[in-house]
Structure 1
Amino acid sequence: MLRKSLFNVVLALVLCFTVVLAAEAAQPTAKDLVIDSIKNFDLGVDKGFYEKSQDETSIKITDFDGSLVKELGHVKGASIDLLSQLDASNNAIKISYTTDIKGNKHNGHIYLKDDKVILTKDFFSLLKELGFDAFKNNPSLLEQSNEYLYSSNEQLKSVWEQMISYQNQQLPGEYKELLLFLVEAIPDQYFNLSNNKVTLQLDQNGVEEFIYNLLAKVKGEQERVADIIVNLNKYNFEQMGISPEQMKQDIISGIDSMPAISREQIKLFGSFVKVNDFTYEVSLLPGGPKNFNMDLGFKAPDGSVEGQLTITVKSVGTKDNLEGSYNISGNFNALNGPQFDFSLACLYNYEAEIAYADTTVQAGAKDNTTGEVLLNFGATANSTTKVDTNLVVNAPALNAANSTDITSLIPGPQQEIIVTPPIVEEAELKVVVNGNTLKTDVTPSIKENKLIMVPARAVLEALGCEVKWIKPNEVQIIYGDKTILVIINETTYTANGLEKALSVPAYLEAGYTMIPVDLIIEELGAKTELVHGTVVITK
């Protein structure tokens, strides 16, 4: 009887331990909780801020001097007032600005609409006053332009896609996948769960282990890595004329060719970068505090260069009353070169459908060898953002009569020739090369296939070429170490002996050779556009 009782006790204990251990195994680890929070990301603020909202921001320049900016004059005290309106339902943002710089005032608008950035002409006058003259090579172009100037950028489409994610209180998929990939590479022992709080804390060894795991993970999960990179840059690749699948295969090939990195090599990381602090803490209680601290120092082995980067982020509360702050500061010091310091501090507060933020920025630079102050910059910004469910942003409807395409002033991938507005036959086209209007006996013309033909000698000599006529029907162009031979009425030409195709053959007009601008673009690397009856060529 005693044996039977002892057996029952032992069996009961075994069953109890089994249940306890099973329950313990079912409990999520601290790392599991972090991964789960990324998968089920909650924005924590009213979704209306990403649907229809209006923001008023006032910026004040508190400091502005130093040898790098002395040509801009006295900008200290300048003010910029911005009214930003978001209407995500129409894929539209309108930013109205009023500036007062050195007593000169500017007013204008900036629109983001679908894949276009639309500007009013005053914006470029403002940039010129700040030392950035986009029309330096052709000042008359701005005067001749229409009311609106615009450029197209496919990458803007990602803005509207991300807005949809934020409206759903979600992190955009591409960012979520990147964060998950990074967190998965962090060793479990650096996560801790206690007192209703999850903590991730990496020391020097932890960062080195993370880097080693990350590199191994990249090698082992090539398809996933390629998908993440492609999704983060899909519209950029499209602009470059590369399909996502082609880019994916190129990334995988690149990963395959990466050499293996040993732990010893990663240890060298510690001789350059010191991890003073890397801590992320999040309360498991609703509305509890979330804190992130990163403090990295770096120093060259010979001591010639050193610096530091510090980031601190804090928040507490719910979307009805969420308050927080973030601070970013750093410095770079080259003993025989420049010294640079910067800091950005922001306090913010969300009260249901209203948000407030106060920001301060300070930056300074000096030359260590001479003691010269290169830059002393300071600014403050105060903003108030409100959800406005009735807001409607009406971006201007662009047409050839009211707008000018300035994409050529903002070079993009594989950009060659930008023609704006749409080509129509012109009676008397003019030609401007590097800002100088050329006087020519024959004028440029536009062929039926929309290609622009220009007088060869006048344009090429203005671009620094030597041009020779070789009887009976050849033109020799010498540009540096390149020799180009064009034959009248032939659909091919040669460049240093290599035969190439011409979309339109060169021809004679009143005894002058006319050539297509695509030859100039291809062989000289020049840029060409058509604006209000003027062919503008820059090199």
Structure 2
Amino acid sequence: MLKKTLFNVLLALSLCFCVVLSTSAAQPTAKDLVITGIKNFDLGVDKGFYEKSEDVTSIKITEFDGSVTKELGQFKGASIDLLSQLDSNNNVIKVSYTTEIDGNKHNGDIYLKDDKVILNKDIFILLKDFGLDVFKNNPAFLEQSPEYLYLSNEQLKSVWEQMLSYQNQQLPGEYKDLLLFLVEAIPEQYFNLTASKVTLQLDQNGFEDVIYNLSTKIKNEKERVADIVVNLNKYNYEQMGVTPEQLKQQIITGIDSMPVISREQIKLFSSFVEVNDFIYEAALIPGGQKNFNLDLGFKAPDGSVGGQLAVVIDSVGTKDNLEGTYKISGNFNAQNGPQFNFEINCLCNYQSEAAYADTTIKATAKDNTTGELLLNFAAIADSTTKVNPNLVVNAPELNDSNSTDITSLIPGPEQVKVVTPPITEETGLIVIVNGNTIDTEVKPAIKDNEHPIVPARAVLEALGCGVRWYAPNEVHITAGDKTILVYINESNYKVNGLEKALSVPAYLEACRTMIPTSLIDEELGAVIELVNGAVVITK
């Protein structure tokens, strides 16, 4: 089921451009057809796969060599058998596994129910066989735990919403909106329409044109961009500590402060990325051939690091007999570091209410400096999925006696806290903006034991803002559509004429304007952190 789910995602993303040519007198352009195809997208497989279905998958590791075996052990010959059951009526997915690794056998169940992942204890013993001891520092916890351990995450609810879209043969709305936005940014000249097919093809110049159009489109349609991002994160608000309205405003503020990207800057960036091939072709007749090819190369300016990513997807047929293949391959090579290669090949066939898939995976890694083989891995998998309209799957009924909530034991983004030294009024700090240490003549400081103060020009220009000094005491800051006026030794400042209050007044030190980071946080939407003697600003 997992492999065919991956195929469905890849197929959906590639087939999103597909559309049947209307026979009406009005002749649409190739780009019009692609956009219409996204709006009217049909998944092309029986909806029962996303309602009630069962999948049987067998995985076998055929190669496992290299120095990695010294730490992880030998997994060659290991097997994993999976029975996956989907009952979307009850919002339940059950995965039953049986493994045999170096003579050790394990079996157990994993459930996805509503917003919970429910595990039995054996899964953690299995993970130990793979070298991952989750409770290494607290072995008694696992021994004393009840039968089930579970994690809760609101984001899991999106699984069931998306399942409803797939049942209706549609992409989830948030994905459709994103795809439409991206395709709209592609210039008309890179689409082509013939009597038999529609084609989208990009070369290096086309890649640069799309990036430029996309950056301009984001600036011009910031409200739409914000809505797309908000919808893609609809279950992350609580974890992010914001409301949907706050997140939307933060996104708009961030877009406003973004500098306009020039074609010269894009050309400089594209010198690191080479578009060897990007082509999508779709026959206009129902069930016709559809192909997607992507081949990207990347390299460092000095040639010390390089790599490649290639994706090939082909499909033909309708839901009664849909045949498809995909291949994903790539490599990474650092002259004075590791070399890594991988390849995934899959053949899928949907025949009405049954689907079949055969997959092979290969990966190798070596150390270029020593020639040592780090990893030689290969695995094969085959699976059969069938629609079963009578299937009923029930998850365990959890209670205090048979289960333990381990959500708090798995730190999420909102739980990661940085421990910093006591804040004092000193000037030994450094400032880091978007990962880059900024060299400033005047060091950041802490005022009143709580307010970080940073040099205005150095930090704001690093964030893409314009900064100008007007005697005797004014600093004018431009950030997108915002004009911010800061006055030396005054607690008030103005944003587009609207007066606001600073946490502490701006001041001059060694002829440099110093401002509180709260101004950068509030007006530019940046995140401010104090980390081990550094003021870290991220936007």
The answer to whether TM tops 0.5 is: yes
What CA distance in whole angstroms lies between the structure 2 residues aligned with 1:498 and 1:255? 32
Equivalent in the alignment of 1:248: 248
Paired with 1:386 and 1:247, the residues of 2 have a C-alpha distance of 41
Q: For the Cα contact (< 8 Å) 1:154–1:239, is it kept in 2?
A: no
Matched ranges for 1:9-408 at <5 A: 26-408=26-408
Secondary structure class of the residue paired with 2:235 = helix
1:289–1:403 Cα change, 3 Å: same
SS across alignment from 2:412: coil
Offset, 1:481: 5.0
Give the CA deviation at 1:72. Answer: 1.9
Instruction: State how far apart, in whole Å, the 2-side matches of 1:122 and 1:212 are.
Output: 52
Structure 1, 208-217 or 263-272: larger mean CA deviation: 263-272
Is the contact made by 1:330 and 1:343 (CA closer than 8 Å) also made in structure 2? yes
CA spacing shift, 1:100–1:373, aligned 2, 3 Å: same
1:488 match: none
> Aligned pair in 2 of structure 1 residues 389, 260: CA closer, same or farther (>3 Å)?
same
Following TM superposition, by how much is the alpha carbon of 1:64 offset from its aligned partner in structure 2, in angstroms?
1.5
* Separation in 2, partners of 1:412, 1:116: 15
Secondary structure, counterpart of 2:393 in structure 1: coil
Moved more, 374-383 or 236-245: 236-245
Taking only the aligned residue pairs, the percentage that are identical comes to 76
TM-score by length of 1: 0.73
Give the Cα separation in 2 of the matches to 1:74 and 1:214: 48
* Offset of residue 126 of structure 1: 0.2
Q: Distance in 1 between matches of 2:25 and 2:278?
A: 28
Equivalent residue for 2:412? Answer: 412
How far is the alpha carbon of 1:415 from its aligned partner?
Answer: 3.1
1:24 to 1:403, Cα distance in 2 relative to 1, 3 A: closer
Q: How many residues align?
A: 408
Amino acid at match of 2:229: I
CA distance in 2, matches of 1:233, 1:262: 30
Give deviations 1:153-180, integer Å, cap 9, x for gaps.
1110000000000000000000000000
Q: Distance in 2 between matches of 1:271 and 1:117?
A: 44
| Alignment partners' CA distance in 1, 2:408 and 2:232 | 25
Report the AA paired with residue 229 of structure 1. V
Per the TM alignment, residue 269 of structure 1 is displaced from its structure 2 partner at its CA by 2.9
Moved more, 197-206 or 61-70: 61-70
1:199/1:281 contact within 8 Å kept: yes
Distance in 1 between the 2:92 and 2:24 partners?
A: 51
Q: Structure 2 counterpart of 1:268, which letter?
A: L
Structure 1, unaligned runs of 5 or more? 1-22, 418-478, 484-496, 500-539
Q: Which runs of 5+ in 2 are unaligned?
A: 1-22, 424-447, 451-539
Supply the AA of the counterpart residue of 1:27. Answer: Q
Residue 385 (structure 1) shift: 0.2
Verify the 8 A CA contact 1:363 1:377 in the aligned structure 2: yes
Deviation at 1:24, TM superposition (A): 10
Deviates more, 1:407-416 or 1:69-78: 407-416
- Structure 2 distance, partners of 1:84, 1:294, is 31
Q: Give secondary structure in 1 for the equivalent of 2:251.
A: helix
Matched residues in 2 for 1:151 and 1:265: separation? 45
1:357-392 per-position Cα deviation (integer Å, ceiling 9, x unaligned): 001111111110011111111111100000000111
Q: CA deviation at 1:412?
A: 1.8
Task: Report the alpha carbon displacement of residue 414 of structure 1 after superposing the two structures with TM.
Answer: 2.5
Q: In the alignment, what sits opposite 1:425?
A: none
- Consecutive aligned runs of 4 or more in structure 1 exceeding 6 Å deviation: none
**Bigger Rg over Cα:** 1
Task: Note if contact 1:360-1:379 (Cα within 8 Å) is conserved in structure 2.
Answer: yes
Matches within 5 A, 1:424-503: 481-482=421-422
Q: Deviations over 1:89-140 (max 9, x none)?
A: 1110000000000000001000000000000110000001111111011000
Q: What letter matches 1:214 in structure 2?
A: L
Give the Å deviation of 1:416: 8.3
Q: Distance in 2 between matches of 1:301 and 1:498?
A: 45
Query: Would the aligned equivalents of 1:208 and 1:269 in 2 still touch at CA under 8 Å?
Result: no
Structure 1 25/321 Cα, relative in aligned 2: closer, same or farther at 3 Å? closer
Q: 1:125 and 1:399 mapped to 2: Cα distance? A: 23
Q: Deviations over 1:489-518 (max 9, x none)?
A: xxxxxxxx979xxxxxxxxxxxxxxxxxxx
SS in 1 for 2:317: strand
Q: Deviations over 1:414-460 (max 9, x none)?
A: 3389xxxxxxxxxxxxxxxxxxxxxxxxxxxxxxxxxxxxxxxxxxx
CA offset digits 1:3-61 (Å, max 9, x no partner): xxxxxxxxxxxxxxxxxxxx999311100000001000100000000000000000001
CA offset digits 1:166-223 (Å, max 9, x no partner)? 0000000000000000000000011001032000011111110000000000000001
Report if aligned partners of 1:134, 1:409 keep a CA contact under 8 Å in 2. no
Distance 1:303 1:212 in 2: 26
Q: What is the rounded CA distance, in whole Å, between the counterparts of 2:174 and 2:105 in structure 1?
A: 42
Question: What is the letter of the counterpart of residue 238 of structure 1?
Answer: E
